[in-house]
Amino acid sequence: MKTDDIPFPQDGVSILVSDLNFTDQLSPFFSGILQDIPLCPLEFIVVGQELTDGMQHVMRNFSDRCFIRFMPHNCKSSVFDSLNYAASRSKYPYLLFVNCGLNFRFDFLASAIDLLTQCPDIGVVGARIDDIDSASHNGDPQIQQFFGIEFKWTGLKKCFQPEQISHLSNDQVSGNTSSGKHLLYPAVTADFLLLRKNDFDSLSGFNKEKGGDWADIDVCLRMGRDLGKKCCLINEICVQLHPGASLYHYSCPDRTACDTIPHEYVLETLDSEEYISLARWFYYLGYSCELGGMLEKSAEAYKEATRLDDSHPSWFYSLGNVLFHLGMHQDSCAAYLAALNIDTVQFCPVRKKANDRPG
């Protein structure tokens, strides 16, 4: 992107940097974004458990080019609690929550802010993350790419769970094509999460009740449900992952009791004479219509099933997926939140190296 083409953010950006497991990633992080002269005020708030000598050295090296301060993270609380506090102390109208293992230049950030400025119906902007190092590890010229969050059925565990969509550079994104400039998702991770500070404040920040469990997903879904704003991911240009850096990975532990029904059983039951409750019959009907591509009828059936019996998270996940594909973003976010809030299994984010993750 030429300098003349770079959108000019009218206001400043507060960049909240986290995941400081590897201090050696902090210097290239600052070098990347400060490679060009920023066209708007920037402040960096570095959130970590302790200020090491290495971190102090890096921050001193860049202190003449931007305002940098450190805020300690209490290891006994969630990092999202610390990010809430850091956001409350920030001074600019845009907040970027970012993993220090990423590398991008100012023009990318300016483009993301311009998207928020031009599109008032967008509340969250994420970024496609390219793991350049994956090509050398796998001996393959293709690059592993990471996108937004979807709620997908996993046959192994017979349940829905949040999953960050990833694939090789020449494949297609599930439900989208990788050729689109901007892709809509229910949520993105806090590896790169840009939003307006007034929106973040309106939502009271990351949900304290969630602790470290999917608080980034939760804030994206509440943005859709409560404020009616969408979550958009920039796909035309990307941010890059430093070699050895890690991304959020949501894992679903094995369930001791599963309320979901194996999908292959659903259609058989609809045709059988076995007694089922009216609520479950509507769920089966919704699933059958979804398979047949009749999404409007599927949504109606799922809604009726959840109205009659609101104890099954998988029914709300199914409803959320259908509504999302129908473009009913606010209603889909409400359904996803309902599912997550009654699901007995919490999806805890853990850090994993990108090239260790399944594609």
What is the percent of the chain with per-residue pLDDT over 70, rounded to a whole number? Answer: 74
The string of pLDDT tens digits covering residues 173-216 is 444 444 578 899 999 988 899 999 999 999 999 987 765 568 89
CA 152 vs CA 155, 163, 191: distances in Å: 10, 7, 20
Task: Give residue 166's pLDDT band: very low, low, confident or very high (50, 70, 90).
Answer: confident
C-alpha closest to that of 85 among 29, 45, 41, 43:
45
The string of pLDDT tens digits covering residues 250-291 is 655 554 444 455 555 555 555 555 556 889 889 989 999 999
> For the chain, first and last CA: distance in Å?
30
Residue 80: predicted pLDDT? 85
Residue 29: predicted pLDDT? 86
| H/E stretch holding 200 | helix 197-202
The owner of tokens 């400081």 is 20
The string of pLDDT tens digits covering residues 292-348 is 999 999 999 999 999 999 998 889 999 999 999 999 999 999 999 999 888 766 555
C-alpha closest to that of 39 among 93, 104, 110:
110
Report which listed range, 8-17, 144-153, 250-259, is most confident. Answer: 144-153
Task: Give residue 15's pLDDT band: very low, low, confident or very high (50, 70, 90).
Answer: very high
Is the model's pLDDT at 40 over the cut of 80?
Answer: no
Are 252 and 347 in contact by the 8 Å Cβ rule? The answer is: yes
Which of residues 138 and 246 earns the better pLDDT score? 246
pLDDT averaged over every residue in the chain: 79
The DSSP output letter for 176 is: S
Q: How far apart are CA 220 and CA 199, in angstroms?
A: 11
Is the model's pLDDT at 9 over the cut of 50?
Answer: no
Q: How far apart are CA 116 and CA 79, in angstroms?
A: 26
CA 122 vs CA 94, 97, 136, 232, 233: distances in Å: 13, 17, 36, 7, 10
Lowest mean pLDDT among 75-89, 119-133, 303-317: 75-89
CA 178 vs CA 6, 124, 236: distances in Å: 23, 19, 9
Residue 97: predicted pLDDT? 94
